[in-house]
Amino acid sequence: MKKFLKRLSLQTKQQSLLRVVSLIIKETYQILRDPSSILIAFILPIVLLIIFGYGVSLDLRKINIGVAMESNSLKARSLLISFESVKFFNVRVDQSTKALQPYLIAGRINAILVIPQDFSRRLLLKEKNPVQIIIRGTDANTASLVKNYIDGTYQKWLQQQDIQNGVKNQKIINIDSRIWFNSNAKSSLAILPGSIAIIMTLIGTMLTSLVIAREWERGTMEALLSTPVTKLEFLISKFFPYFVLGMIAMGIVTIISIFIMKVPMRGSILALIVVSGVFLIFALSLGLVISAVARNQFIATQVALIVGFLPSFILSGLVFDINSMPLPIQIITYILPPRYFVTSLQTIFLTGDVWKIILPDTFFMLGFGLLLTFLLFKKTKTDLED
């Protein structure tokens, strides 16, 4: 009797495995025949990576400024040449502030440097404000950066004047700056690894948000429910092909980031695979939960965009600093796995395998993924009367 039960159990397991493999093959063929899945998995990540890599930048590469040359002295012309020689500045020169104001109002220049008629006298008397700077303040961050660039250029010119005049520039503190991990201070090198997290969130949720809803819309779910397929077998067949597809997409965007966009890769491929795989469990499970609940492809797609893409873009710390957010919003970010994925990717790409950062982030993502997997198991219907 025991041998019979053991043999029966073995046959049941073999039949279950055959059903899972058959369903995975069926789902794979469906992916290959569906242009939208290929588009989401391969074309969309490349497009988004190009947008994030070349379209999104926190650096000021060209600052349009106006210089009101109310003075035509040698000192004034020397200061003008100093600004014109800085590669970051695109200088528009006029004789009056009034002539430059319309450009400032229209946003065609970011600031006006006013060199007054008595500029040389003010310098000689060492007045506190020999020049005036008028900055367009519609964007506070840009205005602050513009001010720092102009002030830095002006201070450097003053030092050169002191050297020419034989005046010793006595400094109490000499600051020697050193930037770790991103020595050129290029924002794109920090944005691109983080943008991969946003891309993987989007394609992960988008890919699987259509899967179960498509079965209900096409009427094939009823046929599946009439077979001996269990809920676990059904969910494995829906999860596995898209997990493989997601990892392939991750590999493609990583290769483009490293070899085309020149993002450094200081960590190991193993760490990248582990972190990406754990995050994909969360993203795909989220998409499947949305699909199981919505049962409509259009609604599932909209919910995936709202629940998946928008929070990951706004609240992950990629573009907006989390520490600058209000405290209630900061608390919300702790329950968003993209926050941990962004941190892990930036660490792996720019710093290396710092496991003190990577491991806690990975465990958080795994916990959220398992929680969603449990919710998915509960929400997936295997009875037409449910």
> Residue 76 belongs to a domain with what CATH number?
3.40.1710.10
Could you tell me if residue 386 is inside a domain? no
* One domain for residues 222 and 341: yes
* One domain for residues 200 and 215: yes
Position 7 scores a pLDDT of 56
Could you tell me if residue 172 is inside a domain? no
Give the pLDDT band of residue 9 (cuts 50, 70, 90).
low
Buried b (16+ CB within 10 A) or exposed e, 56-73: eeeeeeebbbbbbbbbeb
* One domain for residues 69 and 52: no
* One domain for residues 246 and 359: yes
* One domain for residues 49 and 133: no
Mean pLDDT of 339-347: 92
Query: Over 60: is that where the pLDDT of 110 sits?
Result: yes
Please give the residue range of the domain that contains residue 150: 63-164
Query: Over 70: is that where the pLDDT of 58 sits?
Result: no
Position 8 scores a pLDDT of 47
Query: Over 70: is that where the pLDDT of 382 sits?
Result: no
Q: What is the DSSP string of 141-181?
A: HHHHHHHHHHHHHHHHHHHHHHHHTT-----S-------SS
Could you tell me if residue 22 is inside a domain? no
* One domain for residues 128 and 34: no
pTM: 0.77
Domain finish residue from 164, 188, 219: 164
User: Would you state the structure tokens that stand for residue 291, as one six-digit string?
Assistant: 């699909």
Q: Could you read off the pLDDT of 95-104 as tens digits, one per residue?
A: 888 889 999 8
* One domain for residues 51 and 68: no
Could you tell me if residue 128 is inside a domain? yes
Position 166 scores a pLDDT of 67
**pLDDT > 70 in the chain, percent:** 89
Could you tell me if residue 14 is inside a domain? no
User: Would you state the structure tokens that stand for residue 378, as one six-digit string?
Assistant: 């509960």
How many whole angstroms separate alpha carbon 119 and alpha carbon 154? Answer: 13
Could you tell me if residue 19 is inside a domain? no
How many other CB atoms are found less than 10 A from the CB of residue 234?
21
* One domain for residues 140 and 256: no
How many whole angstroms separate alpha carbon 179 and alpha carbon 189? Answer: 13
Could you tell me if residue 300 is inside a domain? yes
Q: Could you read off the pLDDT of 124-140 as tens digits, one per residue?
A: 777 777 888 999 888 77
* One domain for residues 118 and 218: no
* One domain for residues 147 and 205: no
> Per the structure, how many domains does the chain have?
2
* One domain for residues 224 and 141: no
Could you tell me if residue 15 is inside a domain? no
* One domain for residues 39 and 76: no
Q: Which residue has the tokens 């993987």?
A: 200
